[in-house]
Amino acid sequence: MGLWLMVMRSLSRRKAKAVFIILGLTVGVAAMAGLSVLSDALTTQVNQQLEKYGANILITPKSKGLSLVYEGMNLGGFSYETAPLYEKDLGSLKTIKNSGNIAAVGPMLLGTVRVKDTDAPLAGVDFIAMDYLRPWWQVTGRLPARGEVLAGDQAARVLDLKLGDRMDLGGQTLTVAGVLAPTGSPDDQLLFADRPMVETLLNQPGRLSMVEVAALCHGCPVEEMVAQIEAAWPGASVMAIQSVVKGRMHALSLFKRFSWGAGVLVTVVGGLVVLVTMMASVRERSREIGLWRAIGFRRSHVVRLVLMESLVLSLAAGLLGLGLGLGGAWLLMPLLVDGHGGHLTLNPGVALFSLALSLVMGQLAGIHPALAAARMDPSEALRSL
Amino acid sequence: MTSLNGFPPETLGTGKPDSREPPMIEAQGLSKEYGRPEARVQALKNVDFRLEPGEFAAIMGPSGSGKSTLLSLLGALSAPSAGRVLIDGVDVYGLGSDTRADFRLGRLGFVFQQFHLAPYLNLLENVMLPLAVRKMESKEKRARALDALARVGVDHLANRLPDEVSGGEQERAAMARALVNRPTVLLADEPTGNLDQANGEKVMNLLAELAAGGMTVVMVTHSASSARFAGRILHLADGRLVADEKTAVQPEKEQGGCQAA
With beta carbons under 8 A apart, name residues in chain A contacting B113: 384
pLDDT number for residue B34: 85
For B104, the closest of A9, A10, A295 (CB atoms) is A295
Q: Which segments of B14-160 does DSSP mark as H helices, in order?
A: 67-74, 97-107, 123-128, 138-151
First to last CA, chain A: 26
B202 touches chain A (CB under 8 A): no
DSSP B226: H
Of the candidates B104, B114, B128, the beta carbon closest to that of A296 is on B104
- From chain A, pick out residues whose CB is under 8 angstroms from the CB of B78: 377-380
Listed residue (A144, A152, A206, A201) closest to A177, CA to CA: A144
CB nearest to B116's CB, from A13, A291, A299: A291
Using alpha carbons, list the distances in angstroms from residue B128 to A1, A203, B122: 6, 100, 10
Residue B188 DSSP code: E
Beta-carbon contacts of B260 under 8 Å, excluding residues fewer than 6 positions away, are B243, B245, B246
B125 at interface of A, judged by CB pairs closer than 8 A: yes
Q: Which of B72, B175, B192 to mutate to test the interface with A (most CBs of A within 10 A)?
A: B72
pLDDT tens digits for range A355-385: 898 899 889 888 999 998 888 888 776 664 4
With 80 as the cut, is the pLDDT of residue A306 above it?
yes
- Measured between CA atoms, how close is A254 to chain B, in angstroms? 50
pLDDT at A333: 80
The stretch A122-129 carries a mean pLDDT of 92
pLDDT score for A156? 93
Contacts of A65 (CB under 8 A, 6+ apart): A78, A80
CA of B150, closest CA in chain A: separation in Å?
A: 18
> Quick check: B120 and A5 CB within 8 A?
no
Average pLDDT over residues B80-96: 93
Phi, psi of A68 (to 5 degrees): -95, 80
Q: Are B122 and B155 in contact (CB under 8 A)?
A: no
Which tens digits make up the pLDDT trace of A78-104? Answer: 455 567 889 999 999 989 888 888 888
What is the mean predicted confidence (pLDDT) over A321-333?
87
Q: Which residue has the higher pLDDT, A73 or B246?
A: B246
> Least CB-CB distance to A1: which of B105, B110, B141?
B141
Cβ-based neighbour number of residue B62 at 10 Å: 11
> Mapped to the 3 state alphabet, what secondary structure does A188-253 carry?
HHCEEEEHHHHHHHHCCCCEECEEEEEECCCCCCHHHHHHHHHHHCCCEEEEECHHHHHHHHHHHH
Cα–chain-centroid distance for residue A79?
A: 35
Choose from B77, B135, B179, B189 for mutation: most chain A CBs within 10 A.
B77
- A-chain residues within 8 Å CB-CB of B115? none
B139 touching A (Cβ < 8 Å): no
CA neighbours closer than 13 Å in the CB half-sphere of residue A208: 23
Find chain B residues with C-beta within 8 A of A9's C-beta.
Answer: 118, 120-121, 125
Question: Are A296 and B177 a contacting pair at CB < 8 A?
Answer: no
Q: How far is B93 from chain A (nearest CA, A)?
A: 14
Check if B99 contacts A (Cβ < 8 Å).
no
What domains does chain B contain, in order, with CATH numbers? 53-71+96-260 (3.40.50.300)
Residue A80 has a pLDDT of 53
Rounded average pLDDT over B85-114: 92
User: pLDDT of A289-303, one tens digit each?
Assistant: 888 898 899 999 999
Q: Give the model confidence (pLDDT) of A173-182 as tens digits.
A: 899 999 999 9
Residue B14 has pLDDT above 60, yes or no: no
DSSP string, B53-83: TT-EEEEE-STTSSHHHHHHHHTTSS--SEE
Q: Measure the CA–CA gap between B254 and B173, rounded to whole angstroms.
A: 28
The 10s digit of each residue's pLDDT in A230-277 is 899 988 888 887 556 566 667 767 877 888 888 788 888 888 888 888
**Cα distances (angstroms) measured from residue B217 to each of A75, B231, B249:** 105, 10, 17
Contact A291 B130 (CB under 8 A): no
Q: What angle do CA A143, A148, A150 make, to 5 degrees?
A: 50
**Half-sphere CA count of B220, side-chain side, radius 13 A:** 26
B70, B120, B124: which to substitute to probe chain A, counting the most A Cβ within 10 Å?
B120
